């Protein structure tokens, strides 16, 4: 079974600054996907960024980038130029690769508060 650990229950950052959210995972699988999802207060969860484990290059999506360290089983999210709209719960999630697999395993989340 896979486990996902987010060790930071809450983080705070000021607008325009950079923040990094941590995630570690445990698996015996060699092929998998990793995700960061964002859940704003009272709004639905949306995908922020994804990483395929077979790719060495770290994924980036505009102000969001990841630091994927496969050997260390670490998958952190960096948010640059933080905006007020980034205030949300952020979940790290794991999914085994393969057509028969698509269930997500989530961490407990990190609440990010962006202040003016």
Partner 1 sequence: DTGVSQDPRHKITKRGQNVTFRCDPISEHNRLYWYRQTLGQGPEFLTYFQNEAQLEKSRLLSDRFSAERPKGSFSTLEIQRTEQGDSAMYLCATLNLAVLNEQFFGPGTRLTVL
Q: DSSP secondary structure string, 28-56? A: S-SSEEEEEEEE-TTS--EEEEEEETT--
Q: Which of residues 13, 20, 76, 106 is near partner 1 by CB under 8 A?
A: 106
- Does position 59 interact with partner 1 (CB under 8 A)? The reply is no
- Does position 91 interact with partner 1 (CB under 8 A)? The reply is yes
- Does position 64 interact with partner 1 (CB under 8 A)? The reply is no
Residues numbered 30-49 forming contacts with partner 1, rule: CB under 8 A: 33, 37, 43-47
């Amino acid at each position: 079974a896979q486990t996902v650990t987010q060790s930071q229950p809450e983080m705070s950052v000021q607008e325009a600054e950079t923040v990094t959210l941590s995630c570690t995972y445990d698996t015996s699988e060699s092929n998998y996907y990793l995700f960061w999802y964002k859940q704003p207060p009272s709004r639905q969860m949306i995908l922020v960024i994804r990483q395929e484990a077979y790719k060495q290059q770290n994924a980036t999506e505009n102000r969001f980038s990841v630091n994927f360290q496969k050997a260390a089983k670490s998958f952190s999210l960096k948010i640059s130029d933080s905006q007020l709209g980034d205030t949300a719960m952020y979940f790290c999630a794991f999914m085994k690769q393969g057509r028969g697999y698509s269930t997500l395993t989530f961490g407990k989340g990190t609440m990010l508060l962006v202040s003016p």
